[in-house]
Amino acid sequence: MAIALCCDDVESSEVIEEQIASICNTCVHVYTSNREFIAAISMRPDLIMIIVQKGAKSTETAMSAREHNRNGKLIWFSDLDFALLSFRLKAAYFGLMPVTADKLQIAFEDCDTTIEKKEM
């Protein structure tokens, strides 16, 4: 299963990509542009979509992601509590920033999908 990460902060996206690599052996595609992210995830039900953005921008991205990919697994991190909206969007996991390896581990478990985990 592939992972698409939308994070508009380059430094944060690099850290998150490293955190994901420490958890699983899965290809991560990083997008800093919402438009490129949405184009990449459209019609890809075999995808884990991770959104890490602040404020209303994260809401817009999550809503658009769900609209363009109804069956992909959605993991959403924001600086504001959008837990109720994440439930309505059927997100597998919603968490507050900052993103940590522990939160990602729980999020992947909540996705209830097969990803190749790293051996400890």
Token pair recorded at residue 59? 């809401």
**Residues 120, 98: Cα–Cα separation, whole Å:** 24
CB of 100 closer than 8 Å to CB of 72: no
Which pLDDT tens digit goes with each residue over 28-71? 999 999 999 999 999 899 999 999 999 999 999 999 999 999 99
CA angle (99 as vertex; 93, 34 as ends), nearest 5: 75
Which pLDDT tens digit goes with each residue over 63-78? 999 999 999 999 999 9
Q: What is the pTM of this model?
A: 0.93
Sign of CA dihedral 114, 118, 119, 120: negative
Crossing angle of the two packed helices 101-110 and 10-23, in degrees rounded to 10: 60
What is the pLDDT averaged over residues 98-109? Answer: 95
Look at domain 2-110 and name its CATH class.
alpha beta
**Residues 69, 38: Cα–Cα separation, whole Å:** 9
What is the pLDDT averaged over residues 96-116? Answer: 88
How long is the chain? 120
